Amino acid sequence: MLNRDLRLRVRRFRALALVTTLAVYLLILVGGIVRASGAGMGCPDWPKCFDRWVPPTDEAQLPADYQQIYADRGYGETRFNATKTWTEYLNRMLGVGVGILVILTFLASLGLCRLSPGLPFASLGALISVVVAGWLGSVLIDTNLAGWAVTIHMLVALLTAGFLILGLVYARAASSTVGLLATTRLGTLFAFVLLLSTLQIALGTRVRGQIDELSQGGAMAAEWLSDLGAVFLIHRSLSIVVLVANLVLIYRIRRATLSRGPLHTIGNFLVLVLVLEIAVGAGLYYLEMPPVLQPIHLLLAAIAAGLQFGMWAIFRSETRRVM
């Protein structure tokens, strides 16, 4: 049994880690909004914005030759737009807030080393990931939102959330003594589902990059949707494979568990999220890519990945204690 002080520390860590995880998902949503609104280059430099720590609110606050200045840096199409600039700037400020929360979560985990040695390492992983994500923010600007940089940035954000979720599972395991699984023969299936979902997200970010490239000419979506190519077709078809693989995984978990537990609840929610994600994806295509659906599709994909990782972490924790 844990003493009162240790139980209090665990509760504080779990509360802080949960808030931080939710903040990461909020940042992913806001990042999707930035991309869908075309505000990604609203601040054409890093870490400042138009060479200011607080961006301007009017073009008159910039040098008269600011467009030439940024053209010399490789950004020939730069034109100040207050809405896009402040959308991107607030996205960056939210990123700073997430970074602070991750640091606090890591510090809170240090007092729990003896209780769960893996817990501070999971928090350290989140800290390293968020630092890498911040550095990738500068790479995005330097490469003018290159597709490969956007994909890696998204995957690192998911990795940050994954480490935080792992920390939450470690904290739960440290204060619980009940193992739920009757078998451990699910590891390979979990690995397959996680890799499949990661591939699907990577393909999705590539499709988003193609959409940006095809829509730059100002043509209507109906004119270029048919030109998305093989990556889009694979991404669309793979969504069904991802859903079926997750249904098989959830069925196997239900067959393997001794009693109802968190894996059952998470599995039910995961199916709902995946169905909604496929529905929103279909809406994006048949409604000709409405901007309002784009960040929702991204957020649902991120939530699904987090739920899958959380299920794997709980599975791993429970089977170890059963063994």
Ordered by start, the domain boundaries in the chain are: 1-177, 179-323
Question: Which of 186, 172, 207 minimizes the C-alpha distance to 301?
Answer: 207
C-alpha span between 31 and 8 (Å, rounded): 34
Confidence (pLDDT) at 259: 62
pLDDT under 70: residue ranges of the chain: 1-2, 174-184, 214-227, 258-260, 319-323
pLDDT in tens, 5-54: 777 888 899 999 999 999 999 999 999 999 888 888 889 888 889 988 99
DSSP class of residue 51 equals T
C-alpha span between 258 and 241 (Å, rounded): 28
Question: Which of 282, 311, 309, 312 minimizes the C-alpha distance to 296?
Answer: 282
C-alpha span between 148 and 61 (Å, rounded): 34
Confidence (pLDDT) at 257: 73
Distances in Å between the Cα of 94 and the Cα atoms of 90, 91, 126, 302 are 6, 5, 16, 18
Confidence (pLDDT) at 321: 54
The angle, 0 to 180 degrees and rounded to 10, between the axes of the packed helices 187-215 and 293-322 is 170
Confidence (pLDDT) at 175: 56
C-alpha span between 199 and 28 (Å, rounded): 18
Q: What is the DSSP secondary-structure string of 251-275?
A: HHHHHHBSS--HHHHHHHHHHHHHH
The token pair at 35 is 């991309």
Confidence (pLDDT) at 269: 95
The length of the chain, given as a count of residues: 323
Q: Angle at CA 13, nearest 5°, toward 7 and 17? A: 150
C-alpha span between 147 and 24 (Å, rounded): 21
**Residue 288 is which amino acid?**
E
Confidence (pLDDT) at 214: 66
C-alpha Rg value of the chain to the nearest Å: 22
CATH architecture of the domain with residue range 179-323: Up-down Bundle (1.20)
Confidence (pLDDT) at 178: 45
Confidence (pLDDT) at 40: 86
C-alpha span between 165 and 157 (Å, rounded): 13
What SS3 state is found at 145? coil
Block residue for tokens 């609203």: 42
Confidence (pLDDT) at 268: 92
The CB density around residue 259, as the number of other CB atoms within 10 Å, is: 9
Confidence (pLDDT) at 181: 56
